Chains A and B, each alone.
Chain A
Amino acid sequence: MNARTMRLVAGAIVIVVAIVLLIVLKNDGGESTATDAGKAPTIVVNAAGKPVGGIADLTYKEGDQINFKVKSAVADEIHVHGYDLMKDVKAGGTVAFDFPASLEGVFEAELEGRKEQIIQLTVEP
């Protein structure tokens, strides 16, 4: 095989790989993953100050209304970072958050006093 054919073959391989990659990945990530709009999930925090079932993943599209409740067995302050919203919760109490998804990105909500993350909030464009 001379250099010219080799180059042609290499080029063909590159293009085929690129197209396949494009098609596979396009189908893979095509649909929206913003699943939590319109729902109001309740995140439960146990007596150890940990979220039951692990850190809750909430995903919204920009412009959606973000709406969730936190029911906590311990008293603390709940802080939604980025949006910088803070609410106190009493031991055994429940607080509700309701605000528009105006900032894109990934944000944490945590029990501020314990530095314990309870929610991972994703806002997609």
Chain B
Amino acid sequence: MSIFSSLPFAHALVARQDLPIPAWLFAWGASIVLIVSFFALSAAWRKPRFERENWRSIGAGLSRGLVSRPTQIVCGLLGVFLLGVAIYAGLRGTEAPDRNFALTFLFVTTWLGFPIFSALLGDIFRPVNPWRAIGRTAGAGFKAIAGQGPAHLEYPRRLGRWPAAIGLLAMVWLEVVYGSSGGVAVGLDPHAAAVAALVYSFYTLAMMALFGVEKWCERGEVFSVYFGMFSRLGYFGVHDGRLGRRRPLSAATSWATIPGSAAVVIASIGSTSFDGAQEGAFKSAIQQVFEWLSDAGFGLTTSLRLTDTIFMALCFGGVGLVYLLGVRGMRTVRGAPSLDRLRVGFAHTLIPIALAYLVAHYFSLFVFQEQAQFTYLLSDPLGTASTDLFGTASGGIDFGILSSTAIWYIQVGALVVGHVLGLTLAHDRALVYWPDYRQASRSQYWMLAVMVAFTCFGLYLLSAGNG
């Protein structure tokens, strides 16, 4: 049906989409996952290993240089400058999504780049966070004039990270639902993205003024919370203003203690699932609902957005439900802590799964689009063909850089590694809750089922491809 030509967001940017993984690779991936899981149950350690970060400072000089005030100022300025460029390009540049700096910078370089690099290195977004930089400067200015720091409202404890979870869903909604509507190639034009960035900036700065910069960054600011979640897997961390190394994964164990954290990681897995499923696994179901709604008298654009919204909500709900079922199951094991404690206690074990989903679905988009980012989008940010700042305006994307086979192995590899890391964290946490090793092991049948479900669903999404 040609009327149903909704094109997912990525299509507007990248001209090459991934081939679905072949059936034999799906089978191998799924088999490896099952076998690995089986071994994880029987041959594992008996004392928790990741509960302590084992933090060691790196050399004092290096540490001081990297987290000193001048470095913070330079990083903050860089963040504010780049956000400014993106907003300016969005407002003043070309409407062609693939030629405008704004969309690629906001949705690919930042939105996909930070999770990947944070997961390896640690919280690299924090120093360049433009809103944090502006908020801190404003706070310092206030203090200089008024002689004391600004008074903030008490942040409601129960609210926790819920604002960030909702913001995350809104961000993805803007990108993949609003951005793919209308039967045209892309609904989200650079102008709309720039306006969204401006609205978000005002909202964030207002919230920082109300609740305080650091408090809001830790709980409400979508990008800080989302990138910060992945950074907990990373190798470097800052303690008391000093940079140090820590045991990878270990910082994740304390991440979910703030209420609403589970919703953040579930929102991440759910929205990536939706984006992967909308053009493959769910395509015909989405089309069906779309036709019902348009037959019922809704306009085409409204029907499409409504349909996509319903399916995105279903993905979020489905992922959440699978997790809660696993938690419920664990509750049945003798000596189990309360349901609330379990729900919070195992949320961080989904972080590697969320990362694996991201890599599996967006890795090739990232590699292709970053070539554009660092060639023509950098030299000609407005896309008007009138500037060539670095002499790379005529550059292009080499789609030959990744073969389909390479992409397939990276996708399946990411899911398998994410699965193993998730199991590792879950087993480790179970040893904390069940001092009796055998009970801990038994509780993990449930988390194992959850992880197998997510990983196999991820594989299935990849194999259903563009269907």
Contacts and interface: CB of A to CB of B under 8 A. Distances in A.
Interface in A89-125: 102-108, 110, 115-117, 120, 122, 124-125
A54 B30 contact: no
B15 A107 contact: yes
Interface in A2-28: 3, 7, 10-11, 14-15, 17-19, 21-22, 24-26, 28
A22 B17 contact: no
A14 B38 contact: yes
Interface residues of B, number: 35
A11 B38 contact: yes
Contact of A25 (B7, B19, B27, B438): B27
B2 A55 contact: yes
Contacts of B1: 54
B11 interface: yes
B18 interface: yes
B31 A105 contact: no
A21 B31 contact: yes
Interface string A48-89: 001100110000000000000000000000000110100000
B466 interface: yes
Contacts of B24: 22, 25-26, 29-30
Nearest to B37: A14
Contact of B35 (A18, A54, A82): A18
A55 B5 CA distance: 9
A50 B2 contact: yes
Contacts of B399: 82, 103, 105
A26 B19 contact: no
A22 B31 CA distance: 8
A28 to B, nearest CB: 5
A23 B98 CA distance: 43
Contacts of B17: 105-107
Contacts of A106: 16-19, 465-466
A82 B399 CA distance: 7
Contact of B41 (A7, A24, A82): A7
Given A25-B27, A55-B2, A81 B15 contact: yes
A18 B5 contact: no
A23 B15 CA distance: 35
Contact of B466 (A18, A104, A115, A120): A120
A15 B405 CA distance: 26
B403 interface: yes
Contacts of A117: 2, 5, 7
B404 A105 contact: yes
B221 to A, nearest CB: 35
B5 A26 contact: no
Given A103-B399, A106-B466, A26 B35 contact: no
A103 B397 CA distance: 12
Contact of A3 (B11, B22, B37, B438): B438
A26 B27 contact: yes
Nearest to A80: B15
B5 A116 contact: yes
Nearest to A11: B38
B26 interface: yes
Which of A18, A28, A110: most chain B CB closer than 10 A? A18
B404 A124 contact: yes
B66 interface: no
Contact of B27 (A3, A22, A105): A22
B376 to A, nearest CB: 13
B203 interface: no
Given A18-B35, A103-B399, A115-B185, A29 B16 contact: no
Which of B15, B18, B26: most chain A CB closer than 10 A? B15
A69 to B, nearest CB: 18
B16 A103 contact: yes
A25 B34 contact: no
B466 A54 contact: no
B70 to A, nearest CB: 45
A94 B339 CA distance: 67
A18 B15 contact: no
B15 A84 contact: yes
A22 B185 contact: no
Interface string B58-98: 00000000000000000000000000000000000000000
10 contacts: A18-B31, A25-B27, A28-B23, A81-B15, A82-B15, A104-B19, A105-B404, A106-B16, A107-B16, A108-B15
Interface of B: 1-3, 5, 7, 11, 15-19, 22-24, 26-28, 30-31, 34-35, 37-38, 41-42, 184-185, 399-400, 403-405, 438, 465-466
The 5 closest A-B pairs by CB, nearest first: A29-B23, A81-B15, A18-B31, A104-B404, A105-B16
